[in-house]
Amino acid sequence: MSRGAKRSLVALVVVAMAGTACGTTGETGSPPPAQDVGPNERVVTGGTLRAAISFPPKAGLAIDTADAFTLAKAGAVESLVEADATGKTSPLLATSWDRQDDLTWRFTLRNGVAFHDGTPLTAASVASALGFVAASPTPPRAFGGLKLTMEPVDEITLRVTTDRPDPILPLRLSSPNAGILAPAAYQSTPPSAVGTGTGPFRIVRYEPNQFLTVERYDGYWGEKARLDGAELRFLPDPASRVAALRSGEVDVAEGVPAAQVPVLADVPGVTLETIALPRTTTLYTNVAKGALAQRPVREAVSMAIDREALTTTVLEGSAASARGYFGPAVPWGDAPNNAKADPEAARKLLSEAGFAPGALRLRLWTYPARAELPVLATAVKDMLERAGIGVDVEVAEYTAQEPRVLAGEHDLFLLSRSYLTDMADAESYLRSDFGCTGAFNLNRFCDPAFDSLLDGIATASDRQDVFRRAAAVLAEGFVGIPVSYDRSRTAISDRVRGFTPDPLEHALLTTGLGVAG
Instruction: Tell me the pLDDT tens digit for each residue of 158-179.
Output: 999 999 999 999 999 999 999 9
Q: Which tens digits make up the pLDDT trace of 284-296? A: 999 999 999 999 9
Q: What are phi and psi of 141, to 5 degrees?
A: -60, -30
pLDDT under 50 in the chain at which residues?
1-43
pLDDT value, residue 263 = 83
Residues 6+ apart with CB under 8 A from 392: 361, 362, 363, 364
Nearest to 304 by CA among 364, 371, 374, 259: 364
pLDDT value, residue 517 = 63
The DSSP code for 35 is G
Residues 6+ apart with CB under 8 A from 16: 86, 87, 88, 331
**DSSP strand pairing (360-366 vs 94-101):** unpaired
For the chain, the first-to-last Cα distance in angstroms comes to 26
pLDDT value, residue 21 = 35
**DSSP strand pairing (157-162 vs 104-109):** antiparallel
pLDDT value, residue 338 = 60
Nearest to 477 by CA among 339, 301, 352: 301
Cα distances from 98 to residues 22, 56, 102, 153, 356, in angstroms, run 8, 37, 11, 14, 62
pLDDT value, residue 483 = 95
Cα distances from 116 to residues 54, 149, 198, 215, 494, in angstroms, run 27, 26, 6, 11, 31
pLDDT value, residue 193 = 96
Domains and CATH numbers, the chain: 46-251+495-516 (3.40.190.10), 278-487 (3.10.105.10)
pTM: 0.74
pLDDT value, residue 329 = 78
HSE (CB half, 13 Å, CA atoms) of 265?
Answer: 6
